[in-house]
Structure 1
Amino acid sequence: MMIPTSAVLENGLRQDVTHIAGKIGERNLQHYDALREAERYISQRLQASGRPVNRLVMRVHDRDVANLEIEWKGTHQPESIIVIGAHYDSVQGCPGANDNGTGVAALLAAAEAFAQLSPRKTLRLVAFVNEEPPYFQGENMGSLVYARGAKAKGERIEAMLSLETMGYFSDEKESQKYPFPLNLVYPDKGNFIGLVANRASSPLLNQVAKAFEEARTIPFEKGAFMEALPGVGWSDHWSFWQSGYQALMITDTAPFRYPFYHTREDTPEKVDYPRLGQVTRALFKAIENLAFEP
């Protein structure tokens, strides 16, 4: 794998977040032209991997929106599928730099890093539409449509990693909040990345945590929780749980840490690009372990 230097990786992440959230800005069905502009930008960036982009169209409120997918067919176990996903829409009234320009930027970095490689298992990178309200956990949520379609086709998705709001960190005490009773267990400094799963996804959680330990790039906390706990299912991994797939979220914990969550102040300069780069490097190791190793 061609791992870029830290400076190159951080610069690429910054460029993608700045373009998506700074130049394009708010992108959703209420800002449809911007949503389509974001789709075109992401599609062009994914195409740079040399893989054709599958534009998976959904018709919502008489408008076409799309999930965007690229795939590496597995050389040894093509029926075993690893999905890495990030939503590219933003909530109304928000330019969406951290939520979720950071997740999309890491997804694009992975497309570049793995472009010339051949995984043992099938690897898919997917940019999802319509994660944010009013579509969140509804029939027109892009990842829910995708996961249901995979289930209907009998696809064996072994793992799904949701890249969600990954770029804000703080070394200040009490910068990290939690729903009770997690505050009794986890640290109060928001200087780590979180790995969040449901109980059924514990085996996958342990695999990804092992990869993050091996990467040794950034501190992390992990947990397999009841789905009803606030925040646990707040991204595209939830959609895969509904179809019985193991899935988890990689996140800075969003509203439990990020003061600009779902506001107009969620802008590119709020993102900690060096630490986002560290998270992205750990993600690369997780992908390597899941899709490339026997």
Structure 2
Amino acid sequence: MADEPGPRRGGGALGHQAGGGPGLHDVIRRIFKRLSRIHITAISVVVILILSWTGCFTVKMPGDSFDGSLPDANSEQASVAKNLKTHIEKLAGEIGARNVSHHYALEKAAIYLEQELQKLGWLVQQQAFETDGKTVRNLEVELRGTKRPDEMVIIGAHYDTAGISPGANDNTSGTAGLLELARLFAGSKPGRTLRFVFFVNEEPPYFRTEQMGSRVYARACKNRGENIVAMISLETIGYYSEAENSQKYPPPLSLIYPSTGDFIGFVGNPASSKLVKRCINIFRKVESFPSEGIAAPGSIPGIGWSDHWSFWQEGYCSASVGMTV
């Protein structure tokens, strides 16, 4: 016998009523379903509060997220957008999928990045290593700090793609953004030493392995005793959507954050909460664009899904900046 009797044409007490409306059984079932949702929501809220109080979660961010119609781009922003488009069309449109399985394209992308940086006057350093019998390389440029040169800030992005994907968003968008930052900072004199690093091997099968490009890089930094005070990873910054459910989260984060992918996100672990707060606070002061932030354990899906994870492994303070994946 079934656990629940089906609808009866005559409209029995536990079935649907003659007019097609809900019967007693349906009403009871809906009540219990709603109560269950209420209980789950309440439990989730309590969990978030407890984790926040114990320092495991930081969801309260300084400043206010922008709320309103996005302003038109000014001339400088339009110029940046044009440059970003050029880089994305070259890397994703022309070169396409690039990883160890598509090694020729991966090397072609590295050469393109190197040439673009050299055009801007940068001296490009490389960190080459072997992966499955093939040579791959991280690329690095540096501005020596004028006041605290031994304190280093790293901004990075991975330039490889997953499988056969050309990776327009993941992560050509981040790579193009890093190239633009290198252009804007070329010739400047920062107080701390500033590095821009293009990582290889972020995507599977090397993700979170010893062959992950940022893992190799961060480990070398640690072995040299470098004092990295902050690392920012640019990850999938090219996708924007106002459609409902275009942004999803593991429970219970869906109770806190928007279901639309129309914001920039700042993500770190508890040890990097100060960095996350500082970055989003500055962003909210100068940019008219929605933003959200969180500092949470890296074991939560999505929190450590980029190159900032590699720097956590060496005890460095690091965070990711990105949009909808």
Return the letter of the residue paired with 2:236. Answer: T
Q: State the partner residue of 2:207.
A: 136
- SS of 2:78's equivalent in the other structure is helix
Q: State the partner residue of 1:28.
A: 99
Runs of 4+ aligned residues of structure 1 deviating over 6 Å after TM superposition are none
Return the letter of the residue paired with 2:122. Answer: R
Decide which of 234, 237, 249 is 2:320's aligned counterpart: 249
Provide the aligned length of Structure 1 versus Structure 2: 252
Q: State the partner residue of 1:154.
A: 225
* Cα distance in structure 2, aligned partners of 1:21 and 1:6: 22
- SS of 2:268's equivalent in the other structure is strand
CA contact (8 A) 1:48 1:112 kept: no
C-alpha distance after superposition, 1:102-134 (max 9, x if no partner): 000000000100112110100000000000000
5 Å matches for 1:1-294? Answer: 5-254=76-325
* Cα distance in structure 2, aligned partners of 1:37 and 1:4: 32
- SS of 1:168's equivalent in the other structure is coil
- Residue 4 of structure 1 deviates from its aligned partner by 6.6
% same residue: 47
Q: State the partner residue of 1:258.
A: none
- Residue 94 of structure 1 deviates from its aligned partner by 0.6
Q: State the partner residue of 2:43.
A: none
Return the letter of the residue paired with 1:43. Answer: E
* Cα distance in structure 2, aligned partners of 1:7 and 1:169: 17
* Cα distance in structure 1, aligned partners of 2:181 and 2:75: 11
Higher relative contact order (CA 8 A, sep 6+): 1
* Cα distance in structure 1, aligned partners of 2:152 and 2:217: 14
TM-score (normalised: structure 1) = 0.84
Q: Unpaired segments of 5 or more residues in structure 1?
A: 255-294
* Cα distance in structure 1, aligned partners of 2:283 and 2:82: 22
| Distance change >3 Å, CA 175–CA 129, structure 1 → 2 | same
C-alpha distance after superposition, 1:223-267 (max 9, x if no partner): 00111100111100000000000000111141xxxxxxxxxxxxx
CA contact (8 A) 2:201 2:211 kept: yes
Return the letter of the residue paired with 2:317. Answer: Q
* Cα distance in structure 2, aligned partners of 1:207 and 1:184: 24
CA contact (8 A) 1:158 1:246 kept: yes
C-alpha distance after superposition, 1:6-41 (max 9, x if no partner): 211101000101100000000001111000000000
- Residue 174 of structure 1 deviates from its aligned partner by 2.4
* Cα distance in structure 2, aligned partners of 1:7 and 1:51: 24
- SS of 1:5's equivalent in the other structure is helix
Task: Give the structure with higher Rg (CA).
Answer: 2
| Distance change >3 Å, CA 232–CA 7, structure 1 → 2 | same
